[in-house]
A and B are shown apart, each in its own frame.
Chain A
């Protein structure tokens, strides 16, 4: 329980925690193993402070060589009286032991400690309880002489990787303990169980779950604060996008959004429209790649009755519909040259002509165009009109790919979890650590759209409190096998990954920060900020190279 012990002591605000600290302070060995003896002074005194269950102070005197067993018994008696919290009631320890006497005795003990437990001698029944999410902690008795003493542990963790399995054994060995921990056990306890240690273990777990609950609540609050018109992000790249969007939204006429497919261009377009002075007016969205030219022309400009086969009535187009508001042209780079000429006319003269009609109509619309193509390259290759490109790109916002803002993944995951928990009527709390690792190492060619689909799929499949790798689409499950064989991989934090990567790119560019920023897909200012943060704050010279 080293990972719980001291780490979560801060959460013990109740009187029993103060008392336990008091005991441990006077008699450190109380925190250790049952079989250990404590070298106490000849006339040690244990003063038990006032707590609700103790009406008067008690003083215990003992002589040199006394085992701590009697003190432990006293301490346990005090623990018994501590009020049961709601967290305790949701922990539901499962006792899996084939010895009925020990099983019943442990069940009684745990109940006295304020926890509601279930007990069984049947491994399958215990596993079923884990699978159904009934238990968060399991006390499993094992015999080390059996062929695979940790078979139950493996199966339990496969059922629910988040379950805490405490292995209990009468044949405690250090090797056995290390093996159990290595295979994922939360602790390895020798029989007979040390009651104080058992109580502390359960309280630590209860505190851990309480901490997680509070962290989730804070994360939800943070999510609200970091949401920008339905877009979630806290990475420098996205904060720049939000900032620039706010600035241009009030003044733009035409904006070009550039970024890979699935990065959130439509959401940014909607945000620009909402913030703009015409935010109360209509927004029309047209996906230019979804239609052939004739249909696209009809949708954008409208048509009159009889203009083409099937035109049974006169209909206005999206420009007329959104007159006074905004038109968003998604995938504008996919339009043909004749269609580009018609769009140029709208931008230059603010006039449209319905298909089949000689009448020219004036429209007053703001235009947001988006593309995942390099329009400059398209201009050079003659596939995109240069004059239209310059008209559209007077204000350009680049939306980063998800791979460029990996630090946003946890936030996005939380956002989508909330969304699909609501949609599917689920109550999934989060992802297991290994599932989070898989997401952070995926290249995300489909960007945020792909991440949303992964979380949606996992929410459909998952039946536990946490999403695990097995809930992901097949290819992400296979990926873990590949990652396991990747010898260079180390569990670095995102900050470390960023730091190492920036240094590598800078080395490749011989210290030219301007070039490095271009390759990294971030602004030069962002690069300087990262370098300063990482302790590489060297002033650049005139050509952008590091001095």
Chain B
């Protein structure tokens, strides 16, 4: 299922990114999802994110039969664009299954 969603992401390009920025404020931004074999998936956002924070990327598909689901990624800061926007590499997030990894707060 995840693979199918990922595939559709690379086809459309336009995405809606949502999550919490470094000030812990919820945001929604439209952006373009870039993908290449070496750098993987990346997006450019106007706001800063906390390193390693989870963001949700939803493909904007004008002619899709159903509304696409948001997919969770871990954002890794890559650098700033000449316009001053922030570029992030998107790393896939694996849901934790083992209770051995549980961290106590």
* A contact residues vs B (CB 8 Å cutoff): 131-133, 158-159, 230, 261-262, 266-267, 270, 282-287, 289-291, 299, 318, 321, 419, 423-426, 445-446, 449-450, 452-453, 456-457, 459-464, 469-470, 473-475, 477-478
Contact = CB atoms under 8 A, between A and B. Distances in A.
B62 A426 contact: no
B38 interface: no
Contacts of A475: 20, 24
A175 to B, nearest CB: 28
B96 A461 contact: yes
A133 B102 CA distance: 11
Nearest to A287: B60
A478 B96 CA distance: 22
A475 to B, nearest CB: 4
Contact of B102 (A266, A267, A426, A464): A464
Interface in B28-58: 28, 30, 50, 54, 56
Interface residues of B, number: 39
Interface in B81-105: 93-105
The 6 closest A-B pairs by CB, nearest first: A475-B24, A446-B26, A424-B95, A290-B30, A470-B105, A132-B99
Interface in B1-37: 1-2, 14, 16, 18-20, 24-28, 30
A426 B20 contact: no
Given A424-B95, A456-B72, A475-B20, A284 B26 contact: no
Majority SS at the chain A contact face: helix
Interface of B: 1-2, 14, 16, 18-20, 24-28, 30, 50, 54, 56, 60-65, 67, 69-70, 72, 93-105
A270 B67 CA distance: 9
B70 to A, nearest CB: 7
A264 B100 CA distance: 37
A463 B98 CA distance: 6
Given A266-B67, A299-B62, A445-B26, A290 B14 contact: yes
Contacts of A299: 62
30 contacts: A131-B102, A132-B99, A159-B102, A230-B67, A282-B63, A283-B65, A287-B30, A289-B30, A290-B30, A299-B62, A318-B62, A424-B95, A426-B97, A446-B28, A449-B70, A453-B18, A453-B19, A456-B72, A460-B54, A460-B93, A460-B94, A461-B96, A462-B96, A463-B96, A463-B98, A463-B101, A464-B99, A470-B105, A473-B20, A474-B50
